[in-house]
Amino acid sequence: MIFYSEASWKESNQSYQGFILLGVADRPHLEMILFAIILICYTVTLVGNTTIIVVSWLDPHLHTPMYFFLSNLSFLDLCFTTSVGPQMLVNFWRKSKSITYAACVAQLYISLALGCTECILLAVMAYDRYAAVCQPLHYTIIMSHSLCFKMAAISWVSGFSNSLVQTVLTLQLPLCGQNRVDHFFCEVPAFLKLACVDTSLNEAVEFSASVVFLLVPLGLIIVSYGYIVAAVLRIRSAEGRRKAFNTCASHLTVVSLFYGTIIFSYLQPSSNYSRDRGKMISLFYTYVTTMLNPLIYTLRNKEVHRAVRRLMNRHSTT
């Protein structure tokens, strides 16, 4: 890949004010269907994740490492969907599917950063479940407040650092006046399609980052659950095994949904990147998984149910 000077880069990439997000503009009837689905998913995501954050913050019984990380995940999902949701919903209703250059760059950077952060954070949450099931007597010592904050900070910093590198590399590519992005929002794979030079280095960097932020955390999650399964099988009572399994079932479901769609989307050569399939997969992990996360964690979680009831009773008596 050829690196361009700042002057030539600005000349090639900023000669126009923004981009056109094509989405499914050629199928107007599908736009209205997607608008309704995404609006529902986005609303449920806002309500569900905000509820988890507020309840975890206000109820002292939930001031534990598990809910600290769950609050981080909920806040991340709120930011993730909000970084692309409002612009997409507006574009569904107007003929001009435009987005400013600055907004497109912000979407590119923030969505990638939060996606990478979630990969690491889910691995951190798997370690928390490992410590809870496999080292129950030493759990509070192992998962100290200091360690929890450090692990959360590493997740956020690593995600945003990787996104900074990839965003800078992507924005250095000359687009030669092309500004029609064949996607619902600005995302690296779709953005590389606009480049008028060889993008093999960018694709190599993207693939390497995918391995580091997808396969490595996924490997750590698998190892953690290997130890968890072994520990659960050593529990003699069926009730004990059920309780141990329930503490991990929600996290394992979220991991399966998130990693499954992300790996399918990113760990494939650019030449095999189907535009329609890629766009729909992006919608799934951006809206459906973020909507399901709070539902998965709350519907099966009696602690959250009790916490909500306590807060409602406290509010009704004041």
Per the domain annotation, does 31 fall within a domain?
Answer: yes
Per the domain annotation, does 135 fall within a domain?
Answer: yes
Per the domain annotation, does 161 fall within a domain?
Answer: yes
Q: What domain count does the chain have?
A: 1
Predicted confidence at residue 14, as pLDDT, reads: 47
Q: What is the mean pLDDT of each run of 10 residues along the chain (318 residues)?
A: 43 60 77 88 91 87 89 93 88 82 89 92 93 88 94 96 92 78 82 82 86 90 91 80 76 83 64 63 82 77 73 67
Per the domain annotation, does 52 fall within a domain?
Answer: yes
Q: Tens digits of per-residue pLDDT, 71-86?
A: 999 999 999 999 988 8
Domain holding 104, by residue range, is 6-317
Q: Tens digits of per-residue pLDDT, 106-151?
A: 999 999 999 899 999 999 999 999 998 888 888 989 999 999 999 9
Give the per-residue SS3 of the chain.
CCCCCHHHHHHHHCCCCEEEECCCCCCHHHHHHHHHHHHHHHHHHHHHHHHHHHHHHHCHHHCCHHHHHHHHHHHHHHHHHHHHHHHHHHHHHCCCCEEEHHHHHHHHHHHHHHHHHHHHHHHHHHHHHHHHHHCHHHHHHHCCHHHHHHHHHHHHHHHHHHHHHHHHHHHCCCCCCCCEECCCCCCHHHHHCCCCCCCHHHHHHHHHHHHHHHHHHHHHHHHHHHHHHHHHHCCCCHHHHHHHHHHHHHHHHHHHHHHHHHHHHHCCCHHHCCHHHHHHHHHHHHHHHHHHHHHHHHHCCHHHHHHHHHHHHHHHHC
CATH of the domain at 300: 1.20.1070.10
Per the domain annotation, does 256 fall within a domain?
Answer: yes
Predicted confidence at residue 177, as pLDDT, reads: 66
Per the domain annotation, does 266 fall within a domain?
Answer: yes
**pTM of this structure:** 0.85
Per the domain annotation, does 64 fall within a domain?
Answer: yes
Chain centroid, CA 123 distance in Å: 13
Per the domain annotation, does 1 fall within a domain?
Answer: no
